[in-house]
Amino acid sequence: MPKFKAPRGTYDVLPDTASHWSRVETAFAEISELYGYGEIRTPMFEETDLFVRSSGETSEVVNKQMYTFLDKGERSMTLKPEGTAPVLRAVLEGGLLNQQGQVVRVWYKTPIFRYERPQKGRCRQAHQVGMELIGSSSPNADAEIIEMTVRFYQALGIKQLGVLVNSIGRAQARRAYADAILNHMASWLKDQDQEGRARAEKNPLRLLDSKDPSIQDLLSGAPVVTDYLEPESREHYDAVLKRLNEADIEFEEAPRIVRGLDYYTDTVFEVEGRMLGAQSALCGGGRYDKLIQELGGSPTPAVGAAMGIERALIAMEAEDLLPDVDRLDVFVVALGDQAIQIGNRIVDRLRKEGVSCQQDIEGKGMKNQMKQAGRSSARWTLILGEDEIAAESVTIKNMDTGDQQTVPQADLVSRLKS
């Protein structure tokens, strides 16, 4: 048994699955580039107050899940539990919004850290990709983020998608709706302890985001937030839905979707993998027009989304979409000093032509080298012995079929590529 293991709630991505991760990350980068988004990278930890101000003091992330520590200067730091707040901090600090009317489009990939009970697709170190569109209040911006999210999952081949869209309005609508939720849940609140009651009263909308089945049962007959929307929010929401229809994005209106962080306003959405049953959530996002001001910037509209890489992989597995492990193209078996020298030249030439190669580096015999070739899962084994050297040829063995043929060394690259 090894002396050390990966910390609870974390895991290693080994070579046999790394190609799955590359598939997801590459698909997201390609979609982002198609829409004109530039990559941004932020540190793994930030000042704790950044997340308290962005996520809200009553959020479960802040209260229960953050990895927070004091550095050697006695400053409170936190491993980032989500990607949006650090990106906005970087955009502000980097002066990307200095030009009036500027619209900034950025995408990112990052690990995130939350101390929670590990389960499939939910880890203490998880991984996200995400994008932010900053500087536009247009409903077209909301629709663009939702469209990009759907196109990303479609690029992975996932077909059984559910797109849930809602609007939670602005300050006036949220206050009125919060009062309505408190009135509806009054009998339940009376039975809660002082801390639980105070948390619910400070932010009643969090009750809608609760995973507690008893709370969800009580909320089944509650009013819906769209009945309280201000006229401007109603107009904005209708325009978002219209644009999604024009883009041929299939969606459902879902008035119970509110998202779990305090910074959302107006449009919110989630995407589900319908093949996953009860644990179907893949990602979420929405508009957050107040967040940049909360972080010290000027009032600036913004909208974005974040997608869990682990959740995407689970959905791909459910639809049998995970790519095969990348295979080595060629393993070179060379017998004797002269054959090794020729083999080295062949390997160099093949690699320059984009053909992946390995060879024995320890001077083993023929039998051992053939075993290495088999373990490498190479498509072909190239054999160089006395006969091949004399004829300036090489024997190519197809490792899937066992077929062999001998070809001139000069024709090797073209023969392999054909």
Other Cβ atoms closer than 10 A to 30: 12
Task: Please write down the long-range contacts of 209-212, taking CB distance under 8 Å and 24 or more positions apart.
Answer: 209/258, 209/259, 209/260
pLDDT of residue 258: 77
Provide the pLDDT confidence category of residue 121 given band limits of 50, 70 and 90. low
110-114, 206-210, 278-282, 398-402: which has the minimum mean pLDDT? Answer: 206-210
pLDDT above 80: residue 209: no
Domains in the chain: boundaries: 15-170+230-318, 330-417
Q: Say how far apart CA 366 and CA 19 lie, in whole Å.
A: 31
Percent pLDDT > 70 in the chain is 97
316 versus 276: the higher-pLDDT residue is: 316
Q: Say how far apart CA 373 and CA 330 lie, in whole Å.
A: 8
Strands 125-134, 380-384: pairing is: unpaired
pLDDT above 60: residue 145: yes
pLDDT above 80: residue 148: yes
Contact 42, 48 (CB under 8 A): no
Give, in degrees to the nearest 5, the angle at Cα 133 between 129 and 137: 145
Mean pLDDT of 301-326: 93
- Here the tokens at position 361 are 């580096």
Q: Is CATH 3.10.450.50 the right assignment for the domain spanning 15-170+230-318?
A: no
Q: Say how far apart CA 13 and CA 15 lie, in whole Å.
A: 7
What size, in residues, is the chain? 418
Q: Say how far apart CA 250 and CA 147 lie, in whole Å.
A: 10
Q: Is CATH 1.10.3720.10 the right assignment for the domain spanning 330-417?
A: no
Mean pLDDT of 174-185: 86
pLDDT above 70: residue 100: no
256 versus 138: the higher-pLDDT residue is: 138
Contact 267, 303 (CB under 8 A): yes
Mean pLDDT of 284-301: 92
Give, in degrees to the nearest 5, the angle at Cα 338 between 333 and 342: 60
Provide the pLDDT confidence category of residue 122 given band limits of 50, 70 and 90. confident
Question: Do 330-417 and 15-170+230-318 fall under one CATH topology?
Answer: no
73-87, 134-148, 160-174, 302-316: which has the minimum mean pLDDT? Answer: 160-174
Helices 15-34 and 309-318 cross at an angle (nearest 10°) of: 110
Residue closest to 384 by CA, chosen among 372, 371, 374, 397: 397
Q: Say how far apart CA 383 and CA 331 lie, in whole Å.
A: 9
pLDDT tens-digit profile of 44-82?
999 999 998 887 665 667 777 899 999 999 999 999 999
pLDDT of residue 58: 58
103-117, 255-269, 318-332: which has the minimum mean pLDDT? Answer: 255-269
From residue 312, give the alpha-carbon distance in Å to each of 15, 17, 68, 366: 19, 14, 28, 44
pLDDT above 90: residue 92: yes
pLDDT of residue 417: 82
pLDDT tens-digit profile of 211-238?
778 888 888 888 888 888 999 999 999 9
Q: Say how far apart CA 149 and CA 309 lie, in whole Å.
A: 13
pLDDT of residue 101: 65
9: left (phi over 0), alpha (psi -120 to 50) or beta: left
Contact 90, 42 (CB under 8 A): yes
Mean pLDDT of 296-311: 94
pLDDT above 80: residue 274: yes
176 versus 309: the higher-pLDDT residue is: 309
Provide the pLDDT confidence category of residue 208 given band limits of 50, 70 and 90. confident
Provide the pLDDT confidence category of residue 260 given band limits of 50, 70 and 90. low
Mean pLDDT for the chain?
90
Q: Say how far apart CA 62 and CA 73 lie, in whole Å.
A: 22
pLDDT of residue 172: 85
Mean pLDDT of 23-27: 97
pLDDT above 90: residue 242: yes
